[in-house]
Amino acid sequence: MNKKVSVFLAGTVLAAGVGIWGLEAGTVATPAYAETTNAATVGNRETNLASGTYGTVNWYLTANGELHLGAGALGEDTSLPAQVGRLAAQIAKAQGVTDPTKAQVQTAADQVTKVVLDGPVVAPVDASSLFSQLRNVTTYEHLDRLDTSHTTVMNNMFHVIDLDSKTTTIDVSHFDTSQVTSMQYMFYGQSAVKQLDVTGFNMDRVTDTMDMFYRTTSLEQVDFAQGTFHNLSSVMYMFGFSGAQVIKLPKFAPSADFSGFYMFAGTKIITELTLGPATTFKSGTSPNLNTPLQDMPDVYTGLWQAVGKGTVGNPLGDEYATGNAITTLYTGDAKPTTVETYVWQPVNRVIEPTTPPTTPNELAQPVTVQYRDNQGKQLADDVTLTGDLGTHYQAEPLTFNGYKLTKTDGEATGTFTTQPQTVTFHYAPSLVTGGDGDAIAPISSVVYATRKIGLYRTKNFSNQSRVHWYKKVKRAERPMFVVTGTATSKRGNLRYKVRDVNHHSKTAGKTGYITAKKSYVTSVYYATKQPRIKVINAQGINAYRQKSLKTAQRHYRKGQTLRVKKIVQYNKTTRFQLTNGQYVTANKKLVIAEK
């Protein structure tokens, strides 16, 4: 869904905060840990790439790239430049680099593929850049053993400058952030991480979250369920170019002079935002909340809407044309008085049914809905309806190009029972009417795109799941697809599951989902008789003795008009029989109907 956006950040100061633990307050006490064996402390000395002691933590790097940290307290080294990894620098020094440069530290960091905490580890008071530059790490194991209760600074903690991190999992759900004052650039460049559980983060003391989630392009959601942000001042590009579509700030309560300047800048795909009643933004400054994209008319209307008394799938509150209109609500005295969620207004509403209570021991069985032709062949994927015992169900018939509904087996309307039920809709070919109304293409038929469409990996369309754009082209060049199934998106939109059959193209053979909206996609073959057709194919077309088009009898040039006797079905395609008894294609890319 999101589009590539290039933003120039000027005058941004990248500074790692320095935590000071005063001598009068004493030093951070190292808990009394159980003694570890030599093997657990230093691994295999003969094969280790490096080993050493950082603070009171014995560490070693194995030949396969595992960085093991033993029990103890990490060192309080604040002498390194900003964004230079603390642990990576320890590796570089252990490998003989006395005063490593940032590039040399990166070389050392690139040896690490996994970080393992073998025992309880106390984090530094200033944990700036602790795990920075570890771009080849795929996972952090036992990160819940990291004690951050004394930590005040987490700047650049997992920072990856080149935005090429391979890390897929960072479990920060156990982090104690009650003393933290700064988190700028904390997850900067963690482009492969899909989830970061910050629901338990205490944000009371945090003043700076600038670029905190910058370029976390695979991240799906950020939920600060407990975050008050009472002392927050700097938030510029906090979610800049992140992939997070859902942002939850239900307890967001910054001070009265908080501006919120550019808090949401750099992202165009926030589709759901939750704000608490204590939220405040300074009038005249722009948090830069995105406006809904306008190029997905079959999914979103292009407006924001408050959920109100509705649901995310069926919002019922006020509508807003822009993201700025929402943040402006929180600049004056007449703010919303409750927690409110704002979503991109859906085209198709998902209405949750209200169901009566049921006996817990009684389980309702599903209703299977089938679509079959007169030979019992499948026209569309089966649909499974589920619900609570005794609640209502409605099996919906579909309409197909070239077919007419003839009978229904089973109860199309009824209630869920303790027994499985099946409803089968039977269809017969109907090339006189072309089918029942505004029809869809059956399985194994061929469709083509009449307008610009996308091919997506999943039935829920987004920029991340898009495989290819097909541009709008002239009729003879329209992209074709074989329908292999149907599906319904979470927003209720019908999709075709397809295979690209554009031979000799780079996309030939690709599979995925396309819209089933008739104004964008339609059948390649005519479904009704036409009185006359004109040949539009540059090479002309052949006429055949049989409808299988196997024995050519005559060739017709481009521009010739042919009189049609009738239309006939051949497998999941159609043919025109001419008044001379010969058969020609009914492919819309090769012929066009004339009145």
Residue 475, SS3? helix
Question: Over the chain, what is the mean pLDDT?
Answer: 87
Asked if residue 568 and residue 453 are part of one domain, the reply reads no
Residue that is written with structure tokens 């809407």 in the block: 305
Asked if residue 538 and residue 518 are part of one domain, the reply reads no
- Tell me the residue length of the chain: 595
Give the strands of the sheet with 378-385, arranged side by side: 378-385, 367-373, 421-429, 403-409
Contact predicate 258/286, CB 8 Å: no
> What DSSP state is assigned to residue 15?
-
Asked if residue 424 and residue 559 are part of one domain, the reply reads no
Number of domains in the chain: 4
Q: Is residue 293 part of a domain?
A: no
Q: Is residue 71 part of a domain?
A: yes
Contact predicate 406/428, CB 8 Å: yes
CATH of the domain at 501: 2.30.30
Asked if residue 174 and residue 33 are part of one domain, the reply reads yes
Last residue of one domain, picked from the residues 523, 544, 565:
523
Asked if residue 543 and residue 488 are part of one domain, the reply reads no
Contact predicate 258/234, CB 8 Å: no
Q: Is residue 569 part of a domain?
A: yes
pLDDT tens-digit map of 477-528: 999 999 999 888 888 888 999 999 988 889 999 999 999 998 899 999 988 8
> Which tokens go with 297?
């008319």
CATH of the domain at 376: 3.10.20.320
Asked if residue 565 and residue 517 are part of one domain, the reply reads no
What Cα–Cα distance (Å) separates residue 13 from each residue in 184, 191, 522? 11, 22, 54
Q: Is residue 559 part of a domain?
A: yes
Asked if residue 589 and residue 454 are part of one domain, the reply reads no
> Which tokens go with 332?
């004056």
Asked if residue 179 and residue 50 are part of one domain, the reply reads yes
What does DSSP say about strands 480-488 and 446-449: parallel, antiparallel, or unpaired?
antiparallel
> What DSSP state is assigned to residue 291?
P
Asked if residue 474 and residue 399 are part of one domain, the reply reads no
Q: Measuring CA to CA, which residue among 459, 486, 483 is closest to residue 382?
A: 486
Q: Is residue 490 part of a domain?
A: yes
Asked if residue 416 and residue 549 are part of one domain, the reply reads no
| pTM score of the predicted model | 0.56
Q: Give pLDDT tens digits along the chain (595 positions).
A: 433 333 322 333 233 333 322 323 333 343 333 334 333 445 566 789 999 999 999 999 999 999 999 999 999 877 888 889 999 999 999 999 999 999 999 999 999 999 999 999 999 999 999 999 999 999 999 999 999 999 999 999 999 988 899 999 899 999 999 999 999 999 999 999 999 999 999 999 999 999 999 999 999 999 999 999 999 999 999 999 999 999 999 999 998 889 999 999 998 899 999 999 999 998 888 899 999 988 887 889 999 999 999 999 999 999 999 999 999 999 988 899 999 999 999 999 888 776 666 555 578 999 999 999 888 888 888 999 999 999 999 999 988 877 888 999 999 999 999 999 999 999 887 766 544 445 788 888 899 999 999 999 999 999 999 999 999 999 989 999 999 998 888 888 889 999 999 888 899 999 999 999 988 999 999 888 899 999 999 999 999 999 999 889 999 999 999 999 999 888 878 899 999 999 999 999 999 999 7
What does DSSP say about strands 114-117 and 66-69: parallel, antiparallel, or unpaired?
parallel
Residue that is written with structure tokens 């999992």 in the block: 169
* Domain boundaries, position 158: 15-20+28-193
Q: Is residue 39 part of a domain?
A: yes
Asked if residue 508 and residue 407 are part of one domain, the reply reads no
pLDDT tens-digit map of 378-403: 888 899 999 999 999 999 998 887 78
Asked if residue 457 and residue 424 are part of one domain, the reply reads no
